Amino acid sequence: MKSTARLEERFATSHLLNTSRHAFSTVASVSIRMKLTYYDIRGVFGILPTPATSDASEWSTKNSVNLPEVEKLVRLMVDAKVDLIATTGTFGECATLTREELVSLVECVVQTNSRSRPVFAGVTTLNTRDTIALARQLIEVGADGLFVGRPMWLAMDDDAIVRYYEDIARAMPGVPLVVYDNPVAFKGKISPAAYLRLAKIPEVVASKHTGGPQLLADLDAVGDRIRILPLATAWLDAAQAFPDRAIAAWSGSVACAPKFNMALAHAILMKDWTRAKALSDEANWAEAAMFANGDLAAFMDYSIQIGHLRFKSAGLIDPGPPRPPYLFLPDTYRDGAIECGRRWKGLENRTAARAA
């Protein structure tokens, strides 16, 4: 790209701020101006699907991103006042998009959003160098921060995880990073000890957490240095335990019910626990439909395909078909995915009616 030389020069200059290869110095940390910090991560971190063209299931398709539907989706987020936007996680299909498609998607999101709220571009590859190269390209097209999973071919221990995020932070000084902590996808949970070390990296401002018994322990471990983001359906318990820390959560259901998600966020942030409990119970009821026999692990094996069905059933966007190789879904999941979308549609319609 014609901008690559400028970008390389800027990052090469920035590297001079770091004097140690394996540790962050205090002087280097304070000399970098962060675009966003821990304190800016508040409210709903809405993770978007990537709408697909009608031929997206074919391996020969050159551009499978339905950009008009992407624009529509982003406008829905802006209209609902979703606080932060993220792209290309699991059901956003970071794993199935070509590099060119991913860049065009993020550029479309950025342009449609028009700086109305921060955009975190999902950037997960199988190695550090590809992640950094793609991350630089996404920041160049206007992303405000990065949503970063780790390589998953082999499991990574604490030292490898910390070094991975240190390297990205050195390569992208001042660019906020949201860690993607998904034990199933990345072959292991980030430990409290690793979180304590990640908390020393100024660029690491938040972590998308999948919840479970470790959620409260991780919230306690990182203190006020990393914003731990529970799933919105688990947000209430975390907020009641840590009302001053658990002030943000991630949601994949924003593409089904953005206004409902914001109503839940408002209740939690206002500490209206009675209202928050009622809305949280409804959100969990809606989500429960897509877990066949309550099996979360099995759901993870088909989350992309399930996502396409529930987003279509919710009716706000046309997600199109899934992309290869994640094309097939056992019948046992199909009805639940469709019912999940229907439930979200009902909750969204009721929320909109109350606001009218």
Q: What is the pLDDT of residue 32?
A: 61
Q: What is the pLDDT of residue 19?
A: 29
> How open is the CA angle 262-77-97, to the nearest 5 degrees?
125
Give the span between the Cα atoms of 165 and 144, in whole angstroms: 17
Check pLDDT > 50 for residue 303.
yes
Which of 11-15, 213-217, 297-301, 344-348: highest mean pLDDT?
Answer: 344-348
Q: How confident is the model at residue 18 (pLDDT cuts 50, 70, 90)?
A: very low
Give the span between the Cα atoms of 339 and 130, in whole angstroms: 38
Q: What is the pLDDT of residue 217?
A: 92
Q: How large is the average pLDDT for residues 40-47?
A: 98
Instruction: Answer whether 262's CB lies under 8 Å from 245's CB.
Output: no
Q: How far is CA 345 from CA 259, 278, 341, 342, 350, in A?
A: 11, 17, 6, 5, 9
Q: How confident is the model at residue 298 (pLDDT cuts 50, 70, 90)?
A: confident
Residue with tokens 């996808």: 185
Give the span between the Cα atoms of 270 and 275, in whole angstroms: 10
Give the span between the Cα atoms of 1 and 78, in whole angstroms: 30
- Cis amide linkage into residue 325, ω under 30° from 0: yes
Q: How far is CA 310 from CA 248, 307, 340, 342, in A?
A: 24, 5, 6, 8
Q: What is the pLDDT of residue 246?
A: 97
Q: How confident is the model at residue 356 (pLDDT cuts 50, 70, 90)?
A: confident
> How open is the CA angle 55-61-66, to the nearest 5 degrees?
60
Pick the catalytic residue from 208, 259, 312, 345. Answer: 208
Give the span between the Cα atoms of 318 and 169, in whole angstroms: 36
Q: How confident is the model at residue 4 (pLDDT cuts 50, 70, 90)?
A: very low
Annotation marks residue 208 as catalytic: yes
Per residue in 60-97, pLDDT (tens digit) is: 999 999 999 999 999 999 999 999 999 999 999 999 99
Helices (H), the chain: 4-15, 26-31, 67-80, 99-113, 128-140, 158-171, 192-198, 215-222, 235-241, 258-269, 273-288, 296-301, 303-314, 331-355
- Both tokens of 30, joined, read 């304070």
Give the span between the Cα atoms of 120 and 106, in whole angstroms: 9
Which helix (DSSP H) or strand (DSSP E) does residue 310 occupy?
A: helix 303-314
Q: How large is the average pLDDT for residues 320-347?
A: 96
Residue with the larger pLDDT of the pair 27 and 265: 265
| DSSP at 122 | E
How many CB atoms are located within 10 Å of the residue 200 CB?
Answer: 14
Q: Name the maximum alpha-carbon separation found in the chain.
A: 57
Residue 218, Cβ density class (10 Å: 0-12 exposed, 13-18 middle, ≥19 buried): buried
Residue with the larger pLDDT of the pair 8 and 244: 244
Give the span between the Cα atoms of 302 and 91, in whole angstroms: 9
The pairing of strands 204-209 and 177-181 is parallel
Q: What is the pLDDT of residue 329?
A: 94
Give the span between the Cα atoms of 224 and 220, in whole angstroms: 9
- For residue 308, how far is the Cα from the chain centroid? 17
Q: Which range (26-35, 97-106, 138-147, 314-323) has the least confidence?
A: 26-35
Per residue in 148-190, pLDDT (tens digit) is: 999 999 999 999 999 999 999 999 999 999 999 998 889 999 9
Q: What is the pLDDT of residue 2?
A: 40
Q: How large is the average pLDDT for residues 308-325?
A: 98
Check pLDDT > 50 for residue 1.
no
Mean of the per-residue pLDDT values of the chain:
90
